[in-house]
Amino acid sequence: MAANRGGWDDTIVALATAQGIGAIGVIRLSGSNAIAIAASLFTSKDLMAVASHTAHVGILQENAQLLDEAVVTVFKAPRSYTGENVAEISAHGSPFVLEQIIQACIRRGARLAKPGEFTQRAFLNGKMDLAQAEAVADLVASNTAASRATAIKNMRGGFSNALLNLREQLIKFSALIELELDFAEEDVEFADRHEFTTLVNGLQLATRQLLHSFSLGNVIKNGVQVAIIGRPNAGKSTLLNTLLNENRAIVSEIAGTTRDTIEEVINIEGLLFRLVDTAGIRNHTSDVIESIGVARAMEKRSQADLVIYLFDVNELSAADLATVVNEFTHEQLRYLLVGNKADASIKQHKEKFSAFPGLLLISAKQQQGIDELKNKLVETVAAGGINTEATLVTNTRHYEALQQLDNAISEVKTGLAQHISGDLLAIDIRNCLHYLGEITGEITNEDQLDYIFSKFCIGK
């Protein structure tokens, strides 16, 4: 096993709970001396003699100095998170006390863990594959029900299982091809090319479904950036405030109130939306600051995942709106048309803008049509609904490897269509297996691993 690679045998220590004052703080030790180090500080009982998966209350002290009264939980290798000996010390949550305990562990031979090092060891000891380990980081960072559900599913191996299936089929076929090569003289075909073509088509379909899931997976993990764009005084800041339920942005009847962009996050039905209020866009302004604001608004417009084009229904004509739609279509923006200040006369305005079927009419000030707008936002992002049961790709590294896999599969398909020889086909298949292995960590190099785990927090 790779467990001892590069001096892995040392014992690491870190605070596993958040920095700062809390009711308790948990210090985690992992490595061959983890339990011995905890035992040497724990004077109430001999921790070296206790069974795995047991918790013990007692006094922690170093030499004659009392450190804390704490609970120590013992996990013996290999039945622990990392696969190594693990001791978890739940102490009182004073940063000073916790730091003293950590320092005492270091004096006894432990060293401070690097970010993600516990999970990295779990991976190296075969406790989880790389995709699962990465899902642990996502789970720690998750902030909505949907992102949590996706991370848990992937941590438990949802994504990995989907890949494993693909991999097994490929290996089966490549074994048959290799066999053919052994009998090259005899010109036999063990691997049925028709059957393989079907298999490869299935593989590509599955790969593309996973690739496709990335846009939703990414949304669930990182949220959707929505820029509220429109002319000055359309009510953009009012809408932001209404959606947030607080007076975040300054609202006034003076055109050009908002200068800088304002970003706030809301959670609608478990999805995160990053709303950006922008300066009203007008062509002629002599105000230097306002024109910088307009430039920023234009930038947000092109960066956003979705644009809400907000306009005053009393001010904009249907012809003006058609011009805007043309411009957006030309720039290939995803947008929602929202007519504001419809207040008491929604019906009349519906007729005025009947040429725009997807249009919504609201009153940001009187809070009308806001629920419809929220529904529409969710719908636009998650066409077909959000099904967290489905396997979703949420990681850019996986997405890129899947793209490479997709290309490699296309190579195999071309090869099959051109009846290339078994040895060339075998190379293309090995390429496919390589990209699959990159995702789950069968094929990695140490630099890459260090990079992936460095993005974790310390203590995880």
Ligand X SMILES: Nc1nc2c(ncn2[C@@H]2O[C@H](COP(=O)(O)OP(=O)(O)OP(=O)(O)O)[C@@H](O)[C@H]2O)c(=O)[nH]1
Q: Which of 33, 233, 388, 395 binds ligand X (CB under 6 A)?
A: 233
**Residue 225 Cβ vs Mg ion, minimum distance, rounded to whole Å:** 18
- Run of H or E residues at 337: strand 335-340
Q: Decide whether 251 or 316 has the Cβ nearer to ligand X.
A: 251
Q: Decide whether 300 or 341 has the Cβ nearer to ligand X.
A: 341
369 binds ligand X (CB under 6 A): no
357 preceded by a cis bond (ω within 30 of 0): no
* Dist CA 25 CA 35 (whole Å): 18
Say if CB 12 and CB 106 are below 8 A apart.
no
Strands 86-92 and 65-75: antiparallel
**Residue 235 Cβ vs ligand X, minimum distance, rounded to whole Å:** 3
Q: Decide whether 218 or 258 has the Cβ nearer to Mg ion.
A: 258
Say if CB 89 and CB 101 are below 8 A apart.
yes
343 binds ligand X (CB under 6 A): yes
Question: Binding partner of residue 146 among ligand X, Mg ion, none, CB under 5 to 8 Å per kind?
Answer: none
452 phi, psi to nearest 5 deg? -60, -45
Q: Decide whether 178 or 312 has the Cβ nearer to Mg ion.
A: 312
Taking each continuous run of H as one helix and of E as one strand, the counts in the chain are 15, 12
Site string for ligand X, 293-322 (x = CB under 6 A): ------------------------------
The residue at minimum Cβ distance from ligand X is 280
Site string for ligand X, 238-257 (x = CB under 6 A): x------------xxx-xxx
- Run of H or E residues at 107: helix 95-107
**Residue 251 Cβ vs ligand X, minimum distance, rounded to whole Å:** 4
Residue 59's nearest CA partner among 77, 76, 38, 80 is 38
Q: Which of 31, 83, 158, 280 binds ligand X (CB under 6 A)?
A: 280
Q: Which of 142, 174, 207, 258 binds ligand X (CB under 6 A)?
A: 258
258 binds Mg ion (CB under 5 A): yes
237 binds Mg ion (CB under 5 A): yes
CA angle 359, 364, 370 (to 5 degrees): 60
* Dist CA 148 CA 267 (whole Å): 13
Residue 116's nearest CA partner among 95, 134, 131, 98 is 134
340 binds Mg ion (CB under 5 A): no
**Residue 224 Cβ vs Mg ion, minimum distance, rounded to whole Å:** 21
Q: Decide whether 122 or 240 has the Cβ nearer to ligand X.
A: 240
Q: Decide whether 47 or 342 has the Cβ nearer to ligand X.
A: 342
Say if CB 14 and CB 98 are below 8 A apart.
no
Cα 430 versus chain centre, distance: 29
Q: Decide whether 100 or 257 has the Cβ nearer to ligand X.
A: 257
Question: Binding partner of residue 386 among ligand X, Mg ion, none, CB under 5 to 8 Å per kind?
Answer: none
Q: Which of 30, 142, 174, 363 binds ligand X (CB under 6 A)?
A: 363
* Dist CA 422 CA 179 (whole Å): 10
Q: Which of 82, 150, 237, 440 binds ligand X (CB under 6 A)?
A: 237
Q: Which two tokens stand for residue 338?
A: 């929202």
Cα 53 versus chain centre, distance: 32
Q: How many residues belong to the site for ligand X (CB under 6 A)?
A: 24
**Residue 343 Cβ vs ligand X, minimum distance, rounded to whole Å:** 5
Say if CB 59 and CB 66 are below 8 A apart.
yes
Alpha helices (H) in 263-418, listed in sequence order: 288-303, 318-330, 346-352, 370-381, 396-417
> Which residues contribute to the site for Mg ion (CB under 5 A)?
236-237, 257-258
Residues contributing to the site for ligand X (CB under 6 A): 230, 232-238, 251-253, 255-258, 279-280, 340-341, 343, 363-366
